[in-house]
Structure 1
Amino acid sequence: MHGPRTAPTSGGAPPDGTSVTLLTEGTYPHSHGGVSVWCDQLVQGMPDVDFHVMAVTGTGREPLAWQPPGHVRSITNLPLWGTPQDCPPPRGKTLRRFLAGYEEFLAALLDPEAEDRFPAALYHLADHAPSGLLSAALRTERAARVLAKLWTRPTVGTAAAHPTLHDALSATDLLEHALRPLAGRAAADTGVTHAVSGGLAALPGLVAHHVHGTPFLLTEHGVYLRERYLSFRAEPYRWPVKALMLGFFRLLAMESYRTAALVTPGNRYNRRWEEHGGTPPERIRTVYNGVDPAAFPPAGPEPETPTLSWAGRVDPIKDLQTLIRAFALVRGKLPTARLRLFGGTPRGAEKYRESCEALAVELGIGEAVTFEGRVEDIKDAYAAGNVVMLSSVSEGFPFTLIEAMSCGRATVSTDVGGVREAVGECGLVVPPRDPERMAEAALRLLNEPTLRARMGEGARLRVIEQFTLRQTISTFREIYQDLSGRRPAEQARPAPGAARPSWARAIAAGGAG
């Protein structure tokens, strides 16, 4: 049985009374990567705050990649896969009542005229999740037939694609897995639930707000909905299945934005998506990621061989194929150049890595491109290159970029998310999926050591002035205290004649309804 599983952790420093349930998906504390680093820094930086972690995972059996400190009081896994909680399928009136609510849920996903039914239908399903009845009911043939009947109606957009029963079975199975986090229950006395991404991680926070009125805080590093749009392009399902799932993710994003007492994007680019999704502007506060400049000091001498380095997880969203194509153009001008790629390959991305390796061989640069796996000290990845590259098609405010900047390395990055906000004039920014422009920028920096040095020095100063970890932690401490009503009066009181920020006024007025 792979239902929610909670593990207590050891005791720690006495808390200040603030309690935060951190909601994650595929990141902390079970995997490495930028968002996981951010979570660890946040938790480590507040030893006087009680943290609980509810982690949406793959199977629930993933080992811990981080050792949480003692003030992380519990870790609850919410696995999407594996055998669901053991519960007999409902029958008779119980099943009919459930299916009536489920039909309302599906109608909201498929019919624009019914979208306003989504919140009530979602919380109706949530009522059945902790017992296991939700998963059990969705695994019945009747649940698939409800969808098969509904999405062939002439008034529904999916009807034109002639969805089949096989499509209905596929879509119902995807929904059953996606809705499993509804079984997660934050404690009634939790001060704040804090989702560190949109999407499935937000589900327990939405339920806690619905049931207990618990303040819900949403931080988006990348735009979850945009990334689902990008990823579903490559999925093998027919259009009706994709339409249903993207409808779910879109309405889930809108409900998250509507419910959140405060939304804290990591950059202004995300803010535009959040406003478009219905978040009132006064409930949005941009909080940039920060690093400790002392932990990422100047990297020291550059390699003698012209080298481009990259760090991150090997994943299609990082678009390593464009980087490899760009490097092939660089290699044509600088035959001794090397490309060193640092970072692990998550489960499920093995074929993507193999395709990248094959592309390098096909382009005749296989011996000059090395996949070096996870590095013990990430600073070594930045020091390995004369120039640090970022080739992603989607980012929030990427840690690898500001870490490399703190190390004093010049960078070439794609113009996505908050990259331009991070770099300013201290690096080169190029369009995504454009190997020619990327190669041109990399060659410019490799061939101009004075420019490279000036940009590297400016990048480190920019981090010290604007993007420090201390600023990030201080801001979230203040937000936690405001949301939970525990901020000391002498801190909360504005200076004479000073107006409180619009987001703080919204919190004081009660946040979301």
Structure 2
Amino acid sequence: MAESLRAPRSGAPMVTLLTEGTYPHSHGGVSVWCDQLVGGMPDFDFQVIAVTGTGRESLAWELPAHVSPPVSVPMWGPDPTGAAPRGRRLRRLMAAYERFLTSLLDPAAEAHFGPALYELAHLARDGVLAPALRTDRAVRTLVGVWNRRDLPVYAARPTLHDALTATDLLEHALRPLAAAPPEHGVAHAVSGGIAALPGLAARQLHGVPLLLTEHGVYLRERYLGYRTGPYRWPVKALLLGFFRLLAEETYRVASLVTPGNRYNRLWEERGGADPRLIRTVYNGVDPAAFPPAGPEPGAPTLSWAGRVDPIKDLQTLIRAFALVRKEIPGARLRLFGGTPRGGEAYRERCEKLAAELGHGDAVTFEGRVDDIRDAYAAGNVVMLSSISEGFPFTLIEAMSCGRATVSTDVGGVREAVGDSGLVVPPREPEAMARAALELLRDPARRAAMGDAARLRVIEQFTLRQTVDTFRSIYLELALGAAESAAGTWATEQPAGVLA
């Protein structure tokens, strides 16, 4: 994390991408989107501050010459080096940390979140925050806040184990504050949450404009994840308070917010983003790179593409397929995509479910495919079963390939599909099965929907439109920052300097 970001080429606009668990260390829709942006703007300089797992992740993407080697911020790697301060400095640090914790738990103190966060950011860049949060003093500070009888969390009787767990989780979540923030150009957070932390610091320290793009709703996904998480309520309340206030601070500070769909916009406005600073920018694909898929498979087949992850809700898809197979015994379900590290248990549960339902022989996990177009061509109908999405690439890629689709009504899915596919409620296998059966039994309707889907992509969701839009936004924000800096410089000079 001590690595510094390079200076821009003379005259080349600079953009720093802020990522978490995606580009350039993993595959997936957001990573594809990042690669599209940098590939479409060779006249820009790009840097990447990437929040990773252990810091040992290899690059999953070949970086063009105008992209600097990424700065990795490992969340779960070795503990950062350094020692906690002592004496007066430690007392000041813990006072700031106590204000920070109180803002997460006391509605009357939420206004202190931003100032406390930026004070902690300064300490993180000095290398003393992480060591201090690994001390008994930090745990005692949290216990002291939790023991306030006027706070709702007191009724949940937080334990010492809760305090140890929550302190550890917060220490890891705040690690991106130690990354050297960009000093020039535009900071572009490609998700909300902890990836935006270096961008918030850059805005405060150097006036670097912060652009926020949310593909999914980061805060909503934290709510979904913590609902079934292995923590007691006091820990969940603290961490969800952190993510909520971090989202609100990011919306407040961002120079511009560019959701990938109108559904995200509703969350952002509710979170305090200025509606005048929100512009919806849809994801796009190159229709020439995703041409019509050609003949359908001989056996009735449902295909799916993505990463094997609980948020994709493959268990609902497998249950829906079991209902389809009762009506069409020869049907198959082919699942394409890798299993991220840590997701092996979920895949095993999905495989076990297919076997328990009596269809293990017809449900195949095919892993990553060299050409994603093969995944779409493998099905008569392409399925999407997620419980949370932004504006999914797999869906518009399948549409560009001319395949009929059945998708869950989450995020921007309905905006993407329009009338060119079937949309069903999430977590309802019966509804998903009915829609799949309708299309499998009607080849003419499938073909008409596939043609309409490809035309919709060509008319509304091309890669060229996406890249051109962000090019204009980068230049607009960079120009605005330069004019603001010039105005500040002019007002600070003695009389006569500009004469």
Task: Tell me whether the two structures share a fold, i.e. TM-score over 0.5.
Answer: yes
Q: Which residue of 2 aligns with 1:496?
A: none
Q: Which residue of 2 aligns with 1:404?
A: 398
Aligned pairs for 1:6-405 within 5 A:
16-188=11-183, 190-405=184-399
Deviations along 1:173-198, one digit per CA (max 9) or x if unpaired, are 0000000000112332x210000000
> Equivalent residue of 2:231, what SS?
coil
| Unmatched segments (≥5 aa) in structure 1 | 490-505
Identity %: 71
| Unmatched segments (≥5 aa) in structure 2 | 489-499
> Equivalent residue of 1:53, what SS?
strand
Q: CA RMSD of the aligned region, Å? A: 2.1
Deviations along 1:274-306, one digit per CA (max 9) or x if unpaired, are 000000100000000000000000000000100
- Once residues 277 and 340 of structure 2 are traced to their aligned partners in structure 1, the CA distance between those partners, rounded to angstroms, is 35
- Once residues 354 and 435 of structure 1 are traced to their aligned partners in structure 2, the CA distance between those partners, rounded to angstroms, is 20
- Once residues 184 and 281 of structure 1 are traced to their aligned partners in structure 2, the CA distance between those partners, rounded to angstroms, is 30
The one-letter amino acid of 1:265's match is: P
- Once residues 19 and 359 of structure 1 are traced to their aligned partners in structure 2, the CA distance between those partners, rounded to angstroms, is 49
Asked whether the 8 Å contact 1:18–1:486 carries over to 2, the reply is: no
Deviations along 1:371-414, one digit per CA (max 9) or x if unpaired, are 00000000000000000000000000000000000000000000
- Once residues 413 and 230 of structure 1 are traced to their aligned partners in structure 2, the CA distance between those partners, rounded to angstroms, is 19
- Once residues 385 and 187 of structure 1 are traced to their aligned partners in structure 2, the CA distance between those partners, rounded to angstroms, is 45
- Once residues 152 and 393 of structure 1 are traced to their aligned partners in structure 2, the CA distance between those partners, rounded to angstroms, is 37
> Equivalent residue of 1:54, what SS?
strand
1:458 aligns with 2:452: yes
- Once residues 175 and 352 of structure 1 are traced to their aligned partners in structure 2, the CA distance between those partners, rounded to angstroms, is 26
Deviations along 1:206-230, one digit per CA (max 9) or x if unpaired, are 0000111110000000000000000
The one-letter amino acid of 2:70's match is: I
- Once residues 477 and 242 of structure 1 are traced to their aligned partners in structure 2, the CA distance between those partners, rounded to angstroms, is 39
**If the length of structure 2 is used for normalisation, what is the TM-score?**
0.95
Deviations along 1:64-93, one digit per CA (max 9) or x if unpaired, are 000110001231001111223211122211
- Once residues 367 and 2 of structure 2 are traced to their aligned partners in structure 1, the CA distance between those partners, rounded to angstroms, is 32
- Once residues 217 and 244 of structure 2 are traced to their aligned partners in structure 1, the CA distance between those partners, rounded to angstroms, is 11
- Once residues 309 and 16 of structure 1 are traced to their aligned partners in structure 2, the CA distance between those partners, rounded to angstroms, is 47
Asked whether the 8 Å contact 1:118–1:251 carries over to 2, the reply is: yes
**CA gap 1:155/1:61 in 2 versus in 1, 3 angstroms:** same
> Equivalent residue of 2:47, what SS?
strand
The one-letter amino acid of 2:93's match is: F
Aligned length: 488
Deviations along 1:26-47, one digit per CA (max 9) or x if unpaired, are 0000000000000000000000
The one-letter amino acid of 1:277's match is: G
> Equivalent residue of 1:429, what SS?
strand
**If the length of structure 1 is used for normalisation, what is the TM-score?**
0.93
Asked whether the 8 Å contact 1:16–1:49 carries over to 2, the reply is: no
**CA gap 1:92/1:486 in 2 versus in 1, 3 angstroms:** closer
**CA gap 1:336/1:16 in 2 versus in 1, 3 angstroms:** farther
> Equivalent residue of 2:258, what SS?
strand
Asked whether the 8 Å contact 1:6–1:74 carries over to 2, the reply is: no
- Once residues 402 and 16 of structure 1 are traced to their aligned partners in structure 2, the CA distance between those partners, rounded to angstroms, is 36
> Equivalent residue of 2:316, what SS?
helix
- Once residues 111 and 456 of structure 2 are traced to their aligned partners in structure 1, the CA distance between those partners, rounded to angstroms, is 45
